[in-house]
Each structure stands twice: as structure tokens, then as C-alpha cells.
Amino acid sequence: VDSDGTRVFRLVAQEGRTELLPGLTTTTWGFNGSYLGPTLRARRGERVAIEVTNGLAEPTTVHWHGMHLPARMDGGPHQPVAPGSTWRPTWTIDQPAATLWYHPHPHGQTEKHVYRGLGGLFLLDDPSAEVEGLPSNYGVDDVPVIVQDKKFHRDGRLDDEDDGNEVGLLGSTVVVNGTYAPYHEVTTERVRLRLLNASTARTYAFGFDDDRSFLLVGTDGGLLAAPYETKRIRLSPGERAEIVVTMEPQSVVHLRSYEPDLGSVAAPFAFGGNDSFDVLELRAARVLAPSPPVPGVLARLPEPDVPPGGRVTRRFVLQDRQINGKRMDMERIDEVVPVGVPEVWEVRNDDLVPHNFHVHDVQFRVLTIDDQPPPPELAGRKDTIYLEPRRDYRIALKFEDYVDADFPLMYHCHLLLHEDEGLMGQFVVV
């Protein structure tokens, strides 16, 4: 913490070697280490500054995914950090407690930079809305679970070449927090897992191997109004979920990814729709410390603000690496959005392949999917949603402040190959 109270973080992007497969090391990228980066953590109301140094041989950027902040601090494709130089964004945390993350966003290179290992969690706390009863002892009963799939060459080298798959890189090995076949020793009755799908292309459907139910307590932008008991949670690239699972002493359960329902895509098997994985083993100790029950009310979640009559203010159709018939152009502003005015965006995937939709700077709310209210897992604050083909997703969003007519923010598909190939647009808030 600086003399003026700013919480300062340092991130150095660098190349290193990591043993992602047992006994075999491979060249990887990480922040402050060889793979992934430290969990950053700050409180609502706190000023943060991040010194991002690029120790790689090529430019990269670092984007604060899910963060409400001025466009010039956002770390998108317009903010390359040259090799050897340092970029120092600073802003004040002004949003609810949430599991956010950070990752590179260099124009056309995001898939490779993330795949090689650049990324990390950015946890936000909100002392004014502390929830008693949620496990919150980091690393003990509040555990980050960064899920990524990888493919390897025979000699153990990370294989980061696209093999022509329409969605991008799909690997047959899953690592969690950069660890192969991971386990966590559980010492408490309840464990909160902060799941992040940090894969570049793969969508997961998380659940447990004995099919037990768990409580979904939070999504991308914060806690749900109330816990939702379920057995599966689907996460597409970039999405997060906080779940609480109850354990019995001396038991072993596995978090798995079941075959995800990708909606009416043309060939689900080609996009991972038939794949399942063991993700994380939970090994409970002989004696578990008691955990309080999860409270029935978690957060205040006001009705989303919408324009009169819920009128749709903008439409976005994703098709063929284009949004509304346009490929990403760094020099073109696609949308000019007025500050402080509620908007409804209608978003549609008109392809028969998986896409999702992410918007910078804002947490939105899903109003309807094909005119129906969203399921409970999509009823909270979201910044990324999976788009089942040929369905209309209406989302409510409002850009509260930080006007900047000259510096764009992005909306895009978070399947990173698609993003790199142009499935992205730019907007300014005025």
C-alpha cells in the first residue's frame, strides 16, 4: 500500500518452464512465475494501481475482465505493453464483491497468450455487504479453481497450434491452477470453489462424480440474491461460478466436467460436447471443522433498470467471425453508448457453432432468452454468457460513469480464436 493509500500490485509477464505433465517440462508464460499469476485481491472503495511489466519478447496487454473502470485502464487491444516496458493503470474499485480475472488482450494474439499461461484471478471484497456464513478462508475453504484444457506434443511440449477446429484449441488434458491431477485436502464441512473457465475454447458442465447437488452462490459479477441448489453449472470461456459443496469426513469426491449441452450446434462432438473430465479431487479429513450453514439471502439484487417498455436499444448478431456483418476494426467505433442510460441489447448467435458474448466495463443482467425469463444461474450479475445458436438473449446494461469519447471498450466472443479472428466490436461511452 502506497503512502496515499493506493494498493499497488506488480505483475511481470515472463517466459518460464512448467511441469504441466508429470515428469515433463514445457515452455510456458506466467505473471511473476512460469505459469498463471498471483491472485490479486482488493476491497470496494479502495484505489488500486497495477504495475504491469512485459518481460516477454513480444507486446502483450493485460485486461481486467469484469471490472468497472475507465476505458484507458481496461487493458484492451489499444494498450499494448512493449517488451521491457511497464504500464501502470490505476482506478478505484466500485462494484460488489466478485470473482474477476485478468488476462492478455493483444489484438489477434489473445488465444496464444492466454493458452501459454497468462492469466489470474482478481477477487473483490465488499466490506459493506459482508455475508456471514460463506466459507472465506482463502486456500482452505475458499479455493480458486482455474480450469484449462491443454494439448501436448509427445515430448511434453505444450501444443499451441490450432488444428483447424472451428472453436479453437481443444485439449484432452485438464489442469487446475496449472496442476495436473489436482486434489485439495478439505478440513471444513463446507468448501467454496471459485470456478473460472480460463480455457480458450472449451465449455464445461461442472458437477460432482456422485451427482450430489451443491449451492451456486455467485456468478461472474458477484453473489446471487439467494443460493441456488443444482447439480450442474455450465461455464463457457471467461465465465465464473462460486459454488459451495458440503463434505462428509473421510470422503473423497471429484469435481467433474460432464458432457456440456452446447445447444443446437451442428456437431457437438467436434466442439467438446461429448467430452467429460475429472477436474479436482476433494479429500476430506477424518475430522471436519464445522461450517455455518449458507444463509438464505446472499445479496441485494435490484431489478435491472430498463428503458421504457423494455425496448431493445441495440442488436448484435454473431455470424462468421462478424458482429452485425462487420469484423473487428481497431480504427472503427461501432457503437456510441450514452452514459447513465439503461439499455437493452439483444444478442444472437446465428451460426451453428458455439459462441459467447462478453462486454467490457459492465456487469449486465439477462432479461430473457427467447422471451423467457433466464434460469436461476443466469439471473445474477454477468459479464459473459454462452449463446446457444439461434436464440435471442436480451441483456440489460447501464454504463454508470467514466465517459471517454476517444477510447473504446470491447464486446466480443470469448472463444479466443473467434475474438482474434474478428468476432469483436468497439464502443465508446459518452
Q: Could you list the residues that contact ligand C2O (CB under 6 A)?
A: 63, 65, 103, 105, 238, 358, 360, 410, 412, 414
**Can you tell me which of 224, 415, 416, 424 binds Cu ion, judged by CB under 5 A?**
415
Rounded distance between C-alpha atoms, residue 223 and residue 27, angstroms? 37
User: Applying CB under 5 A, does 410 fall inside the site for Cu ion?
Assistant: no
Residue number with the smallest Cβ distance to ligand C2O = 65
User: Least distance to ligand C2O from the beta carbon of 75, Å?
Assistant: 9
Enumerate the H helices of 79-166 as residue ranges: 110-115
For ligand C2O, give the closer residue by CB, 63 or 382: 63
Residue from 413, 424, 428, 429 in contact with Cu ion (CB under 5 A) = 413
**What burial class does residue 209 get, using C-beta atoms within 10 Å of its C-beta: 0-12 exposed, 13-18 middle, 19+ buried?**
middle
Tell me the C-alpha to C-alpha distance, in Å, between residue 123 and each of 142, 240, 249, 386: 11, 12, 29, 22
Nearer to Cu ion, 42 or 387 (CB): 387
- Of 12-20, 184-192, 290-298, 355-363, the segment contacting Cu ion by CB under 5 A is 355-363
Nearer to ligand C2O, 63 or 190 (CB): 63
From ligand C2O, Cu ion, none, interface partner of 194 (C-beta below 5 to 8 A by class): none
Shortest Å distance, C-beta 44 to Cu ion: 32
The Cβ-side half-sphere exposure at 330, using a 13 Å CA radius, reads 11
Which residues are within 8 A (CB) of 230 and not within 5 positions of it... i.e. 6 or more apart? 213, 214, 216, 376, 377
Is 385 a binder of Cu ion (CB under 5 A)? Answer: no
Sole residue written with cell 428503458:
307
Question: Does 417 help bind Cu ion (rule: CB under 5 A)?
Answer: no
CA atoms within 13 Å, Cβ hemisphere of 385: 29
Contact status: 73 vs Cu ion (CB under 5 A): no
All three cell numbers of 162: 490450432
Pick one of ligand C2O, Cu ion, none as the site partner of residue 413 (Cβ within 5 to 8 A by kind): Cu ion
254, 279, 290 from 189: Cα distances, Å: 16, 20, 5
| Binding flag, residue 358, Cu ion (CB under 5 A) | no
Residue 355 binds which entry of ligand C2O, Cu ion, none, CB below 5-8 Å type-dependent: Cu ion
Comparison of 93 and 284: residue with beta carbon closer to ligand C2O: 93
Beta strands in 292-423 (DSSP E): 314-319, 322-323, 335-337, 343-349, 355-359, 365-369, 384-387, 392-397, 404-412
Binding site partner of 382, from Cu ion, ligand C2O, none, Cβ cut-off 5-8 A by kind: none
Taking the complex as a whole, how short is the minimal distance between the CB of residue 195 and ligand C2O, in angstroms?
A: 15
Nearer to Cu ion, 211 or 350 (CB): 350
Using the contact rule CB under 5 A, the part of the chain among 84-92, 181-189, 296-304, 415-423 near Cu ion is 415-423
CA–CA dist 264, 175 (Å, integer): 28
Sign of CA dihedral 185, 188, 189, 195: negative
40 close to 59: Cβ distance less than 8 angstroms: no
Nearest in space to 89 (alpha carbons), one of 57, 127, 50: 50
* Separation between Cα atoms, residue 283 and residue 109, nearest integer Å: 38
Q: Which of 68, 190, 194, 418 touches Cu ion by CB under 5 A?
A: 418
Closer to Cu ion by CB, 271 or 364: give it: 271
Residue 418, binding choice from Cu ion, ligand C2O, none, Cβ under 5 to 8 Å by partner class:
Cu ion
User: From ligand C2O, Cu ion, none, which one binds at residue 360 (CB under 5 to 8 Å depending on kind)?
Assistant: ligand C2O
The minimum distance between CB 101 and ligand C2O, in angstroms, equals: 7
| Sequence-distant (≥ 6) Cβ neighbours of residue 196 within 8 angstroms | 99, 101, 121, 144, 145, 146, 147, 239, 240
Write out the residues near Cu ion by the rule CB under 5 A: 355, 413, 415, 418
